[in-house]
Structure 1
Amino acid sequence: MSDPSERLENLRVAYQILKRNVIRTLRTQRGAETQLNQQIDEVLQFSAALQLHRNIAPPVELATAEQSLTSMVDALSDARHLSSDPPTAPALVVTMHTSSGGRPRVDIDREVLSQALNLRGPTHLQDVFHVGACTIRWRALEYGLVEPGAPVYTDTPQTDGTVSLYLRVHIRTGVYPH
């Protein structure tokens, strides 16, 4: 068994090497999940080794190292979701606000809306497009993606020459059939 001061110095050197490797990985491997996961494993292995030898490290130095190791793991985890290549094309625009006086019109890309409506209804899509479900229904109707619903009222000519207006009413009772 080696002297505790030697073991502590070995831990310090190993920590400096680990820190250098983490910095290099963060600079060169953004978005490369496999390499980042390998580096996270190395940090966790060092953390386990540090815990085995915690009795030889000064408490302040131990706390600093533990905090630093946690920060390394967080930074490496975050780097998995980043890309080192910025996008070359502009971001996909699925809604576009146009101003023509009055309330601004919101246009939704026809193809995107068509695909989205195949997956979900307007109520579920309102959070995706950041518009109300009614706007989604209007755009789908304008693009011919859906058929209009039954009319709310109908005019029916009578034999005496008058026109009767029939209003279709839907009353919510709070009781839904199972």
Structure 2
Amino acid sequence: MLIQEIKKLQLQRELVSIRRSCADEDQTGVFEFANDEVGIFSLYSDEGAFEGYTFFHIEQIYELMWGNREHKSIASLIESGSDKPKLLLESENFEDLFKEAAAKYNSLCIYHSDEEDSFDIAKVEGISDGWIKILTYGPKKTLSRLNKLIEAENIMRITVDSPYQNNIVNLHNAQL
């Protein structure tokens, strides 16, 4: 039933909120793609601002909501708001989406851990033997980079084209 409903909502471009087992916060947005394994979602803030594309395992969803006054008001703000960049991803499973995103984007927001309370803005340096090597972009306060190895199975969600993420990368590139 879940995939059937998501497909209908995707066709209608309906704004929805999802609750996932590995996240404390709902994500609100529009499904760009979904199958039995993975969902790709355009994220939006409560003010209707585009917050990036994200993809995750469909099995993480435990609740899907849409159609209330809040959703309608956010959808109205989206319609009058700014444009979003074109989605550059075409793969249909999580692993291939991750590899494709790593190749096409200069940085990713990589959410890892059981509770998705930790994420890195990073450039993927390598993928091998169930491990991901990344070079992180430190926060605005430190602008300090860090090399890191993380287990691929611990990655819960990936976001691309987030304005926050892009701003951090731009600050690093400015070499302040």
| TM-score (norm. length: structure 2) | 0.21
Considering fraction of residues, name the structure with more strand.
2
Q: Which has the higher helix share?
A: 1
TM superposition score normalised by structure 1: 0.21
Q: Quick one: higher RCO (CA 8 Å, sep 6+), 1 or 2?
A: 2
Q: State the structure with more CA Rg.
A: 1
